[in-house]
Amino acid sequence: MYATQQQENPDYILGTINALRAQVQQINTTIATLEESIQAKPDVDRTPKMDAAVPSQGYELLGQAFPAKDLTEAFVSIFKNFAELEPTFPARFKKALTADLAKARKPSKRGYIAATPQDLYPGNPRLWKFAHEIAPGWMLGTNESSEKKLRFIRLACKVIGLRWGKELKVSFR
């Protein structure tokens, strides 16, 4: 008799519905994460375009030239292009970078690539202006040395499966 009265109580019913919705949301998030992890890399057209030349300032990606005023602009543009070529790229790059930093015994509190400027530069609001969106929900921090930017671009090439110096060429004179 008690269970029936409890089940007829609107507050009990709404509480149960909300609990079930939260569980469904967690399940959907887990499913999406699992699907993302098993998703095969998309085929990337690696046919070089013969009419393209590496700009004196910029980069060439798969034979297409992209001028850039400086390395920071190229850095952001390359990561945006990689995220367009492969939507799972930002998450995969973050995982590879975390492993790379751990292997080099240089763990960092900074995110380098994260969801918000606050995650990129925790506790340092004056640096939030250096956060650039590369894909929905992904920000890239650009307050890095040129050496570090180039290191991250090389790692990004490995993550996406492109050859540095062949399928991606960066040039600044």
Q: Give the Cβ contact number of residue 137 at 10 Å.
A: 11
Q: How confident is the model over 35-73, as pLDDT tens digits?
A: 666 665 555 555 555 445 555 789 999 999 999 999 999
pLDDT tens string 61-104: 999 999 999 999 999 999 999 999 999 999 999 999 988 888 87
Task: Specify the 3-state DSSP secondary structure of 61.
Answer: strand
What six digits make up the tokens of 129? 């202006």
Q: What are phi and psi of 120, to 5 degrees?
A: -70, -45
Q: What pLDDT does residue 51 have?
A: 47
Domain boundaries, the chain: 2-38, 57-172
Is the distance from CB of 141 to CB of 113 less than 8 angstroms? yes
In the chain the first and final C-alpha atoms are separated, in Å, by: 83
Collapsing DSSP states into helix, strand and coil, what is residue 67? strand
Query: What is the pTM assigned to this prediction?
Result: 0.68
Domain over 57-172 is classified CATH 2.60.40.420: no
Rounded distance between C-alpha atoms, residue 54 and residue 80, angstroms: 19
Summarised one tens digit per residue, pLDDT across range 3-42 is 566 667 787 788 778 777 877 777 777 777 766 666 655 5
